[in-house]
Structures are given as structure tokens and as C-alpha cells.
Amino acid sequence: MSLRRSFVACCCALSFSAFAENLSLMPWPQQVEQPASGEKLRLTPQLTLNISGDHLAGAESRWLARIARQTGWPLLPAAQPVEHPTIRVVIARAVDPLPKPDSDESYQLQVNGNGVLLSANTRFGAMRGMETLLQLIENGDKETAIPYVTIHDKPRFPWRGLLIDGARHFMPIETIKRQIDGLAAARMNVFHWHLTDDQGWRFASSHYPQLQQKASDGLFYSQEEMREVVRYATERGVRVVPELDVPGHASAIAVAMPELMSAPGPYKMERGWGVFKPLLDPSNEQVYQVIDTLVGEMTAIFPDPYLHIGGDEVDPTQWNASSKIQQFMRDNNLKDAHALQAYFNLRVEKILEAHHRQMVGWDEIYHPDLPRSILIQSWQGQDALGAVAKDNYRGILSTGFYLDQPQPADYHYRNEIFPQGLEAQDEIHSGEQAQSWSFTLPRLKGKAVDGSFTLIEGKEGWRGFIDFAGKSRRMVKSITWLSSQQVSFEVDTWMGPLKPTLTLTPDALSGYMLVGNVRYATQGKRMAKVPAGIAPTLPNMQQMQQNLLGGEAALWAENVNSSIIDTKLWPRAFAVAERLWSAKDVTQPDNMYQRLEAMDRWTTISVGTQQHAQAEQQMMRLANRSDIQPLRLFAQALEPAQYYTRQHLKFQAGHYDYHEPLNRLADVLPAESLAVRALDKQVDALIANRANSSAAAAIRAQLHIWHDNNDQLKPLLSASYMLQPLENSAKQVNELSQMGIELVNAYTRNQAFGANDVADMHAKLDAAAQLQDETVIALVRPLEKLLRAFK
């Protein structure tokens, strides 16, 4: 039997379910085939690597260095070509080394008794395939080996990016390079470099040096440094798209060049976070001359065909208050600020066109006066993106991929690029009963979120939908009646995953909505009829495939600096990378988490990401020379407040600015506690079967770890003024752990609690669910579930 015939061949979702338990690959390839025998290719320190078909400067040394880090072997490039190398990289044709939006990134990988053959049409496919190969290297119980496998792979979307904000908090060049290594390892291909904003101008201009001299605090990128980043990214098959944010987010420009602004200065450096009023003056011809010059400087450094102009969050106050600009609008038949911004963008687009660049901008640039060559990056979500694609403009998605917001990885993972329809699930049929409720969800900053939800009882159980004001209807899932009056359900929103727990009386509702992991008190009332709602904007399939190019993870820097950036990005960015690369139906969250943990370890060793080093360093500083193990264990029970809750808390306290130190435990906590997630899975298993002794033992073991940690933790917290705000959290974790052990014991013995005991336990959980020093006790969630399982 031939080797090919001995393979068990499956592809896409079947391949995923069949093999993903054994192969820690991420993003998951399009097609994976493995022999039933489970054979492996044994590697030795004498392994060799040969690249043919194109000259990849530095790639051989770089890839061997990665293998050396993974194996611990001292590997060097061969002095002479080897006749039978261990790893053969065969590239069909040499192409321009500069990655392009339509670069061919497909590859085929075959590992068998003859060695490794990585075949690709171009260097870019070879680079993507090498990352997959590096993930396959295993240091086993007896040897280092690569499993026999055949992979055929290519990306689902051509634009798979990561935005890093170097304007609000400056990110040194070495920090930037390390993140480029990470995104290349995740088979992403666009580094979007946010270089200018209200808080800093980071692009060194030779024509207007006052920009970096007056508006950067001395923290900026020289032109040589930016060229070095482009070179570094190019060697890894990554495009670099720079962003010059205009006409808003222009406070830094205002400091250096107030003559360009819509209102007279003087201006000073902006230290706060938020949306500010300084705007470039669209009626001033000098503005366009300066932009033309700056674009010329940028295009000389950044060769990518796209240049990002920002264009978001324009506060028109200065435009509306200027008699000169208002007259200009009347002279040019511009009816409002949106039309004026479209005029400005059209002028800028012509400048970009003259410099052979295409415009990228945020949702706000979308306007019918602009040509369809522009690309729209959406922070407003699938509604906005659907309208873009339906109008035959091209777009990419960032909503739901904001990694500066702590969110569960599976929330990002569920975030489909293509807009989703309702499939008539919101229609109410004969014999079904529907009830609709309006609600108001006050936030810590900004307007309250208003909306309504409708629950429908049909023959097959409950289903429902939610209508947020101004947004399209979406279906909810997991509707659960916790009692005759208390209901819960789940739905993904622009704020993150939302899970209400609401008490419904005949006329009113009360309770809370869990936004991410934070409870927001909610009130509402019964509605007389089902609301009409807004249907999702759905382009046809051809429009979605042609116009929606992919997406970008975004890392805004209000709460991120170079000391903690890796803790925010890795390994979580791999969940976004898989959504952008892999087949649409690769969607199993449990397996994703399993592979994500493997990526955490792999990126630390092979890629050199510093998520663990940065977290350890922060904890060492907080522990003030004490052993940090008690702090590590305590941290596993906590999570940072999700959504924008931390930013809003800082705003309320008057600390929402550059001077707020990012030195709390919350700043290096993972976005979600994997220990609590594992505990929650064991709770599910126990609830499903009271006799599941292994689940009960696992729950007790974890709770004992947290309970027994308290004696070592208390003196550590009390000795640090930065940790003292968490002393009450530590006390609650200790008490909840003991309570959880008692719950498990009672549940497995089929014992009941009195009504007063149950009420006391709910009160303890409710108290422990409150925000404390920008953190929440994640342990509350599985214990709530277990307590509710008592009937």
C-alpha cells in the first residue's frame, strides 16, 4: 500500500475534529491528513535545512535558530549544500520579496520517512508553512520528532492584521519587532502601525521636524528605524500599513502646527484619553500641502499600496463654531459636518492617488463621494460592514477583535467576518407565545445602553432575540429559566459577551446584565407588543466574498505600555488569527482553548514572546522581594474587569490619562482565568452526574489550593500598598473556596440546604461579584452555577 493510500484523509471540519486533539496547530489548516499508524519522523542534532526556488535572505539561519530554541540543540546552516536535507523547502517561483495584498500564501507540507517537504508557489507560502512545521516539532518521552502528516493549506481571508498603537504609549522598536515575530507566527500578514494621535506624534518628519520636536515628548521613530521595521517585517512576509490620523485625533498636530487647525491656539500636549476637539481646517489649502508632503515622506518609507488616514471620531465643534468654515461649507454646498469630512477625505484620497497609494480609514470615511478603491476598517461592527459590502465598497472587521479589552478568547473566536442573518428565527408563529421587555443598562461612562428583548415559547422550547437601540436585531441563545420569574440568556454584543440574570414581574424587570465578567444593574418594563426591530444588512454571498477582505485585531494603548504589551497579545491573538485563516466551520471552543494553551508555551520558546516574563516581573515588583507563588495562585481566581470597565473606572476616579501607572495586578492578569474555566467545566460534569467522582475530586482539589493559599497570601498583600486593595478579595476567595467544598460534598451526597443557608450563600456570591481594584473574582461564576443546581 502506498504512503498516500495509508493516510486517513479528511478535510475542513472533519479534519479538525479528527486530528485537532492530537496536533497543536493554530491556525488550523484547511486540510490535514495523517496515517493511522501514528508514525513520526525522528529528528537529531544533525538535521539540515535546504531552501530552493527563491532566495530568502536570512530565513535559513532564522528558522534553524527557532528549531534550536525548541530542541535545545546547537544548529548552524550547512557550509555546503546537502544532498538529502532533513527539511526541504521548495518554492515554485521567485517573486518580489515585498508582500502584497494578493500574495499567494498557499503551501503543502508532507512529513514521512523521507523527511520533510514544504512546497509553496511563493516565498510567502513557504513562510506560512514553516510556522506550521515549527508547531509540529515535539519533544516527546523518548525523542524529538515530527508526526507524519500531509497538509494542504491556504488562508480564508487575504487581510489578517494586527494594529498596534504606538502613539498613546510609545512602543520601542525592539518591542515592535517582537510583536511582528508573533503575528508572523500566527500566520497573520499585516502590521497596522498607528503612528499619530492626540497624545503623540511618532513619525519623524524631515520637512516638518517641529511635529516630533514639539509633540512627541522626545519619543518618536526615526525614518531609519521605520525603514528597519519595514525590512524586518518584509523578511517575515508581513506588510506594514502606517496610519496618519486626520482630520480628528489631531491634538499633537495642533501643538506643533496650530496654524492648520480649525480654531486658534495655543494648544498643549494632551495627556488624557478620549475624544478631543482639535480638528484640521478643511478650508485651509495649507493643510493639504502639509498632508501631501507627509504622505510623500511616508510612501518613501512604507512601500505598501495602502495608507491609513484614520478618519474616526470627529467632533465637529470647531467646524461648527468657525464662521470661516461655515462659509466654506455654504460655498461648496456641504450640508453638514459629515459632508465636510467627505470633502476633506476626497481631497486626501487624490493626494494618496498621486502618490500611488490606496486609502484605508475607519467607518466614518464611508461616503458615496469616495471611490470604491478605498478600504473601510470597521470598529462599528457587522451592521456597518454589511452596508459597506452591499454598496460594493471593500471592508475589514475590527469590532470584536479588540485585544486591549480583556475578553474571553472564545468571544473573539465566534466573531464571524460575514454578517449573519436571522433566518426567520425572530418570526412568531401560530400557537407560540412571545413576551417583550424594554431595558436600560447604565454604564460607568457615556450614555446608557437601551434596548429590548423578546422571548418566544414554541413547541421546541424557548428562543429569543434582542434589539439594541440603533443596531440590528440578533438572536440570543441558552435561554434558561432559573425560577418561574428569573431568566438568563446569552448573546454576543459589541461590548463583549452579555449574559443577563433578570427577575420578571408582571410589569417590570430588574437584575443585572453580565457584560463580559462585570455586573451592570439593569431595569426595564414589559412591552405591550413585540417591537419591529432592524433587520441585519446582508450583502449577497458574492459581495461578501469579494468585498470583505478579512480583519484586524486591535491593541489600543490607553491601558497598554511596552512593559505589559505581550501579556495582552499572546497567545490570545491566535484566536483571531484562526478566525481569519481557517475554514468558517472550525469553531470548537474547547479544542481551541487546548491548542491556545499549547501556543502559549510554543510562542514563549520558539518565537520569544514575553507574556510570562512580563507578568512575573510585575508580580515580583508587587510582592516586594517576597516569594510570588502565593500571588500567582491567588491571581488564578481573578480576572481583570472586562469590556471598557477599567477605562470607565479610571475616568470616574479622574485618572483616565497618561499619568495613571499600569502597575496593578489587574494590568497583567490574563483576560480570563483558565483555572476557573477548567473548574467550570468540572462543575458542568458534576451537575450532569452527581456520581462523577473524578469531577468532584478535581473541584475539591482546586478549591483546596485557593483555600490553603490564604495563610501565605495575607502577609504578602498587607506588605504592599499596591496590593492592599485586594485584601478583601483574598478573604472572599478563601471563604468561597470553603463554601465550594461544602457545596460539592452536599451535592455528591444528595443533601439539601435550608432556605436561609441558600440565601446567605447567594449573598456572599453577590458581594464577591463586585469590582475590587479593577478586578473581579472569577470563582463566583462556577459556584453560582453549582448552588443553583440544588433543587
HSE toward the beta carbon, residue 742, CA cutoff 13 A? 12
Identify whether the C-beta of residue 117 lies closer than 8 Å to the C-beta of residue 151: no
In DSSP terms, 282 is beta-bridged to: none
Residue 22's pLDDT band, with cuts at 50, 70 and 90, is confident
Q: How far is CA 401 from the centre of its chain?
A: 4
pTM: 0.96
Can you tell me the distance from the alpha carbon of 758 to that of 107, in angstroms, rounded to the nearest whole number? Answer: 58
Are residue 58 and residue 200 in the same domain, yes or no?
no
Cα distance between the two ends of the chain: 59
Given 462, 493, 526, the domain boundary residue is 526
Are residue 354 and residue 478 in the same domain, yes or no?
no
Q: Residue 560 pLDDT > 90, yes or no?
A: yes
Given 472, 507, 526, the domain boundary residue is 526
What per-residue confidence (pLDDT) applies to 2? Answer: 35
E strand spans, 381-507: 394-397, 433-441, 449-458, 461-468, 474-481, 486-493, 496-504
Q: Mean per-residue pLDDT for 361-385?
A: 95
Are residue 183 and residue 317 in the same domain, yes or no?
yes
Are residue 170 and residue 313 in the same domain, yes or no?
yes
Can you tell me the distance from the alpha carbon of 516 to that of 672, in angstroms, rounded to the nearest whole number? Answer: 10
Query: Angle at CA 125, nearest 5°, toward 123 and 128?
Result: 110
Q: Is 558 helix (H, G, I), strand (E, B) or coil?
A: coil
What per-residue confidence (pLDDT) applies to 469? Answer: 96
What per-residue confidence (pLDDT) applies to 265? Answer: 86
Q: Mean per-residue pLDDT for 30-50?
A: 94
The structural domain count of the chain equals 4
**Has residue 782 been placed in a domain?**
yes
Alpha carbon distances (Å) from 324 to 262, 321, 374: 9, 9, 30
User: Is 776 exposed, middle or buried (CB count within 10 Å of its CB: 0-12, 13-18, 19+)?
Assistant: buried
CATH of the domain at 517: 2.40.128.120
What per-residue confidence (pLDDT) applies to 239? Answer: 98
Name residues whose C-beta falls within 8 Å of residue 11's C-beta, 6 or more positions apart in sequence.
30, 31, 32, 152
Are residue 192 and residue 301 in the same domain, yes or no?
yes
CATH of the domain at 313: 3.20.20.80
**Has residue 424 been placed in a domain?**
no
Domain that holds residue 734: 610-788
Q: Residue 210 pLDDT > 90, yes or no?
A: yes
Mean pLDDT value across the chain: 95
Q: What percent of the chain has pLDDT over 90?
A: 95
Report the phi/psi class of residue 333: left, alpha or beta, with left for phi > 0 and alpha for psi in -120 to 50.
left
Are residue 46 and residue 174 in the same domain, yes or no?
no
What per-residue confidence (pLDDT) applies to 20? Answer: 67
Identify the sign of the CA torsion 275, 280, 283, 289. Answer: negative
What per-residue confidence (pLDDT) applies to 18? Answer: 61
Cell numbers for 607: 518565537
Are residue 80 and residue 114 in the same domain, yes or no?
yes
Are residue 241 and residue 323 in the same domain, yes or no?
yes
Given 358, 376, 398, the domain boundary residue is 358
Nearest to 766 by CA among 493, 519, 547, 427: 519
What per-residue confidence (pLDDT) applies to 446? Answer: 93
Identify whether the C-beta of residue 41 lies closer than 8 Å to the C-beta of residue 140: no
Are residue 163 and residue 148 in the same domain, yes or no?
no
Cell numbers for 677: 474555566
Q: What share of the chain is helix, strand, coil (3-state, %, to 5)?
A: 40, 20, 40
Q: Mean per-residue pLDDT for 750-759?
A: 94
Q: Mean per-residue pLDDT for 638-657?
A: 97
What per-residue confidence (pLDDT) applies to 82? Answer: 83
Q: Mean per-residue pLDDT for 171-182?
A: 98
The alpha-helical segments, DSSP class H, found in 322-408 are 323-331, 337-354, 382-390
Higher-pLDDT residue of 10, 184 = 184
Residue 56's pLDDT band, with cuts at 50, 70 and 90, is very high
Q: Residue 698 pLDDT > 50, yes or no?
A: yes
Higher-pLDDT residue of 781, 37 = 781
Q: Mean per-residue pLDDT for 90-99?
A: 98
Are residue 521 and residue 641 in the same domain, yes or no?
no
Are residue 167 and residue 101 in the same domain, yes or no?
no
What per-residue confidence (pLDDT) applies to 80? Answer: 79
Can you tell me the distance from the alpha carbon of 336 to that of 325, in angstroms, rounded to the nearest whole number? Answer: 11
Q: Residue 338 pLDDT > 60, yes or no?
A: yes
Show which residues are catalytic: 197, 249, 313
**Has residue 505 been placed in a domain?**
yes
Cis amide linkage into residue 247, ω under 30° from 0: yes
Per-residue b or e along 620-643, where b marks 16 or more CB atoms closer than 10 Å to that residue's CB: eebbeebebebbebbbbbbbbbbb
Pairing of strands 31-35, 149-153: antiparallel
Can you tell me the distance from the alpha carbon of 187 to that of 192, in angstroms, rounded to the nearest whole number? Answer: 15
What torsion do the CA atoms of 766, 669, 563, 596 make, to the nearest 10 degrees?
-140
What per-residue confidence (pLDDT) applies to 7? Answer: 34
Q: What are phi and psi of 77, to 5 degrees?
A: -60, 145
What per-residue confidence (pLDDT) applies to 3? Answer: 33
Cell numbers for 641: 474587569
Q: Residue 5 pLDDT > 50, yes or no?
A: no
Can you tell me the distance from the alpha carbon of 86 to that of 93, in angstroms, rounded to the nearest whole number? Answer: 22
**Has residue 376 been placed in a domain?**
no
Query: Angle at CA 565, nearest 5°, toward 563 and 567?
Result: 100
Are residue 640 and residue 677 in the same domain, yes or no?
yes
What per-residue confidence (pLDDT) applies to 12? Answer: 40
**Has residue 321 been placed in a domain?**
yes
Name residues whose C-beta falls within 8 Å of residue 638's C-beta, 6 or more positions apart in sequence.
665, 669, 673, 726, 729, 733, 775, 776, 777, 778
What per-residue confidence (pLDDT) applies to 8? Answer: 37
Q: What percent of the chain has pLDDT over 70?
A: 97
